[in-house]
Amino acid sequence: MLWLLGRVAVGAPRLTTWRETRAAFEKLEATYGNGATADSAQYPFWTLHATDALWEIKDAHRIAPLPGRRRPTISVLDQVNPEAGFTPAVYAMLTGDLGLVANAAATLLARFFNPVPVGLVAAVGLDGVVPAGREADLMLPIPGFVAFPKRTAIHAELGGQWTSGIGTLDDGLMCVFSDAKGPYDDQSIPGTDLIEYRGQGLNGDQTLKGGGNAQLLVCQQEQKPIRYWHQPAGGDWGFDTWTVIVDRRLVWGKGEDKQWRREFAWVLAPVPSPFRDQWPQSVLERLAQDDQQTHDETFETEAPTAVTKQDAGRQYRKLCASVERKESLNHGRTTRTASDRYFRSADARIAVMLRAQGMCEKPDCGGQPADVTDRGDAILEVDHVDERAAQGRDHPANMIALCPNCHAIKTRGSTRRDLKRKLKTLAERLHREAEAWENVL
Ligand SMILES: [Zn+2]
């Protein structure tokens, strides 16, 4: 397909012959073939013809495969040497818009030749329309420049499905879709540039067999680029950034039935381009450190099942103990390892949600929404009082659950400095109180 697009780019005639196609294919295959698909020219030549809309073969009836065969044999093709090419409509569309040629070529490169092998683009005649290093700019959509009111609108323009959180668009590249639900509304991991994406599976423990999690597992193993789509509360869907999976964790989360279960937390690193050779060194290091194992953070604690304040207190202390164990493991360590290159404990966040008991923790809060999320959680955001980036602890004593209004005051309000000082004392006090909940009857 790249060779065919290259022919359009250099102004070659619409039709070519089987023999010319075969010779070009075999030469390219020998140099750039990646073993991903069948290595015989008859496969693309015949299969492209499967729908008449894209590719036509003259006198196709003369080379039709024998009954029970999927493709004509090479000897029949050699003998008849049919002419073939893009259909007149497709050829006119491509020659009339070389931007479309560039877009298609860059997308094929991202999907099948990543990083782009040196010399390939020139070898297929595409160097005039796909300048080296510019491939990502030619792909649509461009991150940060699209807004869709609904998933169905994305589907209408870019294909793919419109219900699942994980899946490909029509260009075959993987996407994850994240909407603003749950305690962290943007799913960014505080104090890092990483994004956490919760896996697929409505109820019960999630698995890696089948469905979206299985697709993401392949992306992690093959370090494939993934489009990260996000819909902020009340806003439009946007394609925020390209990402790549750098870690996979298992954490506690609530299913649609509001029962606690084990969920996959896929850790995504934003990258400026889908092309691996344009990824920053820090991301390549994370990828090199990824041992591809599931890092289970649920084995140390039971599922949070608090019903009374005594249970809540017991659970709270257990979660805090787990957080502190991890803190001591990481204490004083200066090398960057898989466990401390970023560190946010799911346990710390769950503990704070438990402590908040569904209410914004700011004492004079006046604006908490009465509604709950689809998962049945209060609409709260768990925030670090001293930011992680400023060496703040990832511990409930330094964390607070705030409603979106109070959270906005803490980040953007004119009183934020004063508020932060108060919240610091408050978080410490609430932490001590929750730890003592056992004594409450
Ligand atoms: Zn509030």
Q: In the structure, what pLDDT confidence band is assigned to residue 11 with cuts at 50, 70 and 90?
A: very high
How far, in Å, from the CA of 408 to the mean position of ligand 1?
9
pLDDT computed for residue 186 by the predictor: 53
How far, in Å, from the CA of 370 to the mean position of ligand 1?
11
Percent of all residues in the chain with a pLDDT value above 90, rounded to a whole number: 53
pLDDT computed for residue 335 by the predictor: 42
b/e map 269-286, b = 16+ CB within 10 Å = bbbebbbbeebeeebbeb
| Biggest CA-to-CA distance, the chain | 91
For the segment 421-429, the average pLDDT, to the nearest whole number, is 95
How far, in Å, from the CA of 234 to the mean position of ligand 1?
18
How far, in Å, from the CA of 297 to the mean position of ligand 1?
30
Q: Which residues contact 5 (CB under 8 A, 6 or more apart)?
A: 94, 101, 104, 105, 108, 124, 126
> Which tokens hold the place of 150?
């609904």
Higher pLDDT, 71 or 336: 71
Domain 141-299, CATH: 2.30.280.10
Does 415 score more than 80 pLDDT?
yes
Terminus-to-terminus CA distance in the chain, angstroms?
Answer: 72
How far, in Å, from the CA of 239 to the mean position of ligand 1?
30
What residues does each domain of the chain span? 2-138, 141-299, 300-441
How far, in Å, from the CA of 401 to the mean position of ligand 1?
9
How far, in Å, from the CA of 372 to the mean position of ligand 1?
14
pLDDT computed for residue 336 by the predictor: 43
How far, in Å, from the CA of 419 to the mean position of ligand 1?
12
Q: Using alpha carbons, select from 105, 113, 1 the residue that is nearest to residue 47.
A: 1
How far, in Å, from the CA of 160 to the mean position of ligand 1?
39
pLDDT tens-place string over residues 340-390: 444 556 788 889 988 998 889 998 887 788 888 776 778 888 999 988 777
pLDDT computed for residue 334 by the predictor: 42
How far, in Å, from the CA of 179 to the mean position of ligand 1?
21
How far, in Å, from the CA of 361 to the mean position of ligand 1?
7
pLDDT tens-place string over residues 68-101: 888 888 888 999 999 999 999 999 999 999 999 9
pLDDT computed for residue 274 by the predictor: 97
pLDDT computed for residue 350 by the predictor: 86
pLDDT tens-place string over residues 259-272: 888 999 999 999 99
How far, in Å, from the CA of 352 to the mean position of ligand 1?
15
Higher pLDDT, 49 or 433: 433
Higher pLDDT, 63 or 328: 63
How far, in Å, from the CA of 431 to the mean position of ligand 1?
18
How far, in Å, from the CA of 369 to the mean position of ligand 1?
9
Residues 301/323, Cβ–Cβ less than 8 Å? no
- Amino acid occupying residue 356: A
Most confidently modeled of 12-21, 29-38, 359-368?
Answer: 12-21
Does 168 score more than 90 pLDDT?
yes
Percent of all residues in the chain with a pLDDT value above 70, rounded to a whole number: 91
How far, in Å, from the CA of 144 to the mean position of ligand 1?
30
pLDDT computed for residue 251 by the predictor: 87
Helix (H) or strand (E) holding 85: strand 83-86
Residues 248/242, Cβ–Cβ less than 8 Å? no
How far, in Å, from the CA of 359 to the mean position of ligand 1?
8
Average pLDDT of the chain, as a whole number:
87
For 229, phi then psi, to 5°, come to -105, 140
How far, in Å, from the CA of 236 to the mean position of ligand 1?
25
How far, in Å, from the CA of 367 to the mean position of ligand 1?
6
pLDDT computed for residue 439 by the predictor: 58
Higher pLDDT, 180 or 136: 136
How far, in Å, from the CA of 292 to the mean position of ligand 1?
40
How far, in Å, from the CA of 178 to the mean position of ligand 1?
24
